[in-house]
């Protein structure tokens, strides 16, 4: 009997194709491991044969995969009506595409009393891949694996569940690309589990059933990198303490990083110069960022600004240590919007400059100055420093006044126990500038300040005195009598007559104003007048509250280069005359005054 191997057809179709050696259709889908065929003898009788393969998928080994001799076993079985046929006697097996991953074919061909053939498809899976690296940053996860040129494509599964009950999948169709960046789904702080496989399909279409083993699972916590740090200002003024600008950190997506996820340290942030902020991330954020800022010198100050004939002279404060130089801006507009000129000096000991090239006679100039630093220490770089308050000066034609009385010339626009010398009446003084009731002058080869009464002003305040005007009267008095404590004592004795009164309730200036207006007072009023005059004469001063032999009593103390000295102008207590320049011992022994010395700076 000659039996023909045929594919699964109707009996009529099978009979019509019963021709020896005729090629037959291929196997059914891969999941079907048993194939039914029919046989016919010479009389047309049909007989049933079955071809089965006990394993339909195999792992790639680099060698030919032969299911009829796989690991010492024959996985292909052919039966005829329940009778197992013998390989090599009743049929032979040959293979196609059985070396590399993908769909392979076993061709079973009848021999002996059997003829014809049948093809059976099986799959060779790619070798198991492995994850070579997991990276995170920029809010993404990067997965890397080994290249497998024999695979059709790669598949990556990632899930927040280690058992992958739910997951996300991505397919990489190019086998030369061995990485993927997972950017859309993971979020910073989330832990993700990842596995990858190389795969093939039966028909070479990636959308078909895939065959390949997944790698071992690896996990990673997604992180975002720090990308930027901002602070309110690029420079901060020197204070002597640490400057610690508030910090805002941002990730690569431009989102604000919560403060609990980074630490901040500061360096070189006390002295003038470049300072650093180091922001170091933690938790779901990573990386560090260095931000620089500048500690700039203290705001400078114009100490002197005087107009001259077609010029002006400017002086300013010494810069904070670490400054690079000074910059002066001067303009004929108060807002520095036009006709602006700049002067720079890198000599930190140069605190005075005369400006004569640009200014002309009869102009008003607005001036400001700053100490500054730069990024690299050169004057051509960006400068950091706060300008002083703006002051103005008039470049007038030289103005002269003639003194009408002998006067003391002072270093500043205020009285002082010491002067630069005496300016005789009738002296011609060049007026350099004016500050209130004081004139800065150049006279007899010296430059200093004269009170306006030196030029014929008889009085700067008249009428009943108040706390707000008594200081002006005090300056007028000091000009007239001089700055010695004995002169102050004698003035109080002769101008304020003793009259008993209760302790005043107002301020010192209220009390002094009342005494100088009425010309009467007790020890309280005398002490207030002398304390006011000592202050305007330039002394450190204090009113002593103690007791005399007559009872409760007030008197004065002032500091000299030789220590504290004492003064009393209350004639009733110190009759027939007051005292000045007494030591504490003299006050105690000669006048028998007592007081709590621990309450006063006086000794």
> Tens of pLDDT along 112-156?
888 888 889 999 999 999 999 999 887 789 999 999 999 999 999
Q: Determine the average pLDDT of the residues in 416-420.
A: 96
> Tens of pLDDT along 562-574?
999 999 999 877 6
Strand order in the sheet with 224-230: 248-251, 224-230, 285-286
Q: Which residue, among 441, 444, 446, 445, has the nearest Cα to 306 in the 3D structure?
A: 441
pLDDT at 25: 33
Instruction: For residues 520 and 529, give the distance between their C-alpha atoms in angstroms, rounded to a whole number.
Output: 11
Mean pLDDT of the chain: 89
pLDDT at 553: 93
pLDDT at 601: 63
Instruction: For residues 298 and 243, give the distance between their C-alpha atoms in angstroms, rounded to a whole number.
Output: 13
* pLDDT at position 42 over 50: no
pLDDT at 317: 96
Q: Confirm whether pTM is higher than 0.75.
A: no
pLDDT, greater one: 597 or 314: 314
Instruction: For residues 245 and 265, give the distance between their C-alpha atoms in angstroms, rounded to a whole number.
Output: 11
Which of 586-592's residues contact partners 24+ apart within 8 Å by CB, and which partners? 587/555, 591/548, 591/549, 592/548, 592/549
DSSP class of 22: -
Looking up tokens 């003829």 gives: 115
CA distances from residue 340 to 299, 332, 343, 358 in whole angstroms, order as listed = 20, 7, 10, 10
Q: What angle do CA 223, 229, 234 make, to 5 degrees?
A: 175
Instruction: For residues 448 and 442, give the distance between their C-alpha atoms in angstroms, rounded to a whole number.
Output: 7
* pLDDT at position 387 over 50: yes
CB 123 within 8 A of CB 65: no
pLDDT at 3: 44
Tokens of 9: 């057809």
Instruction: For residues 285 and 281, give the distance between their C-alpha atoms in angstroms, rounded to a whole number.
Output: 5
In sequence order, what DSSP letters do the residues of 96-150 get, joined into one string? ES-SSSEEEEEEEEE-TTEEEEEEEEEEEEPPP--EEEEEEETTEEEEEE---TT
Helix (H, G, I), strand (E, B) or coil at 557: strand
* pLDDT at position 163 over 50: yes
70 beta partners: 73
Tokens of 534: 């000592």
Q: Sorting pLDDT into bands at 50, 70 and 90, what band is 433?
A: confident
Domains of the chain: 3-125 (no CATH), 131-222 (2.60.40.10), 225-296 (2.60.40), 302-394 (2.60.40.10), 399-455 (2.30.30.40), 470-599 (3.10.620.30)
């Amino acid at each position: 009997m000659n039996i023909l191997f045929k594919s699964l057809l109707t009996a009529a179709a099978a009979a019509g194709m019963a021709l020896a050696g005729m090629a037959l259709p291929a196997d059914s889908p891969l999941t079907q491991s048993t194939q039914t065929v029919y046989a016919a003898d010479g009389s047309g009788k049909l007989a049933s044969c079955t071809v089965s393969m006990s394993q339909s998928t195999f792992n790639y080994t680099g060698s030919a995969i032969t299911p009829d001799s796989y690991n010492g076993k024959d996985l292909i079985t052919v039966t005829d009506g329940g009778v197992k046929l013998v390989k090599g006697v009743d049929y032979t097996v040959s293979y196609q595409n059985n070396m590399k991953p993908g769909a392979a074919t076993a061709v079973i061909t009848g021999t002996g009393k059997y003829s014809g053939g049948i093809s059976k498809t099986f799959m060779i899976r790619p070798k198991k891949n492995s994850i070579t690296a997991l990276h995170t940053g920029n809010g993404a996860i990067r997965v890397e694996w080994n290249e497998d040129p024999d695979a059709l494509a790669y598949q990556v599964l990632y899930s927040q569940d280690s058992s992958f009950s739910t997951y996300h999948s991505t397919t990489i169709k190019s086998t030369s690309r061995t990485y993927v960046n997972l950017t859309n789904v993971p979020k910073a702080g989330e832990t993700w589990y990842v596995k990858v496989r190389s795969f093939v399909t039966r028909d070479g279409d990636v959308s078909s059933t895939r065959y390949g083993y997944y790698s071992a699972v690896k996990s990673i916590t997604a992180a975002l990198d720090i990308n930027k740090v901002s602070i309110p200002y690029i420079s901060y003024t020197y204070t002597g303490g640490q400057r610690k600008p508030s910090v805002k950190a941002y990730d690569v997506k431009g989102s604000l990083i919560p403060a609990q996820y980074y630490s901040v340290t500061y360096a070189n942030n006390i002295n003038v110069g470049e300072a650093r902020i180091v922001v170091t991330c933690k938790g779901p954020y990573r990386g560090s960022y260095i931000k620089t800022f500048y500690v700039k010198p203290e705001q400078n100050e114009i100490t002197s600004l005087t107009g001259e004939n077609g010029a002006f002279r400017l002086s300013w404060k010494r810069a904070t240590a670490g400054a690079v130089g000074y910059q002066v801006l001067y303009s004929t507009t108060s807002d520095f919007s036009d006709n602006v000129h700049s002067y720079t000096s890198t000599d930190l000991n140069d605190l005075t400059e005369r400006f004569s090239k640009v200014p002309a006679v009869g102009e008003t100039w607005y001036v400001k100055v700053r100490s500054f630093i730069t990024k690299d220490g050169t004057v051509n770089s960006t400068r950091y420093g706060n300008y002083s308050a703006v002051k103005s000066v008039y470049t007038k034609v030289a103005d002269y006044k003639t003194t009408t009385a002998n006067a003391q010339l002072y270093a500043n626009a205020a009285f002082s126990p010491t002067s630069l010398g005496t300016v005789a009446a009738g002296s011609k003084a060049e007026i350099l500038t004016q500050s209130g009731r004081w004139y800065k002058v150049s006279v007899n080869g010296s430059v200093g300040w004269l009170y306006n009464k030196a030029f014929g002003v008889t009085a700067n305040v008249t009428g009943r005195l108040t706390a707000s005007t008594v200081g002006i009267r005090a300056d007028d008095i000091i000009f007239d009598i001089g700055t010695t404590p004995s002169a102050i004592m004698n003035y109080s004795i002769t101008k304020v007559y003793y009259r008993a009164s209760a302790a005043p309730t107002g301020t010192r200036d209220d009390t002094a104003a009342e005494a100088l207006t009425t010309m009467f007072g007790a020890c309280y009023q005398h002490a207030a007048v002398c304390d006011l005059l000592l202050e305007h004469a330039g002394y450190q001063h204090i009113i002593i509250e103690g007791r005399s032999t007559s009872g409760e009593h007030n008197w004065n103390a002032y500091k000299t280069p030789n220590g504290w000295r004492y003064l009393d102008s209350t004639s009733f207590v110190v009759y027939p005359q007051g005292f000045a320049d007494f030591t504490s011992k003299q006050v105690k022994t000669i006048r028998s005054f007592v007081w709590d010395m621990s309450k006063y700076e006086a000794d």
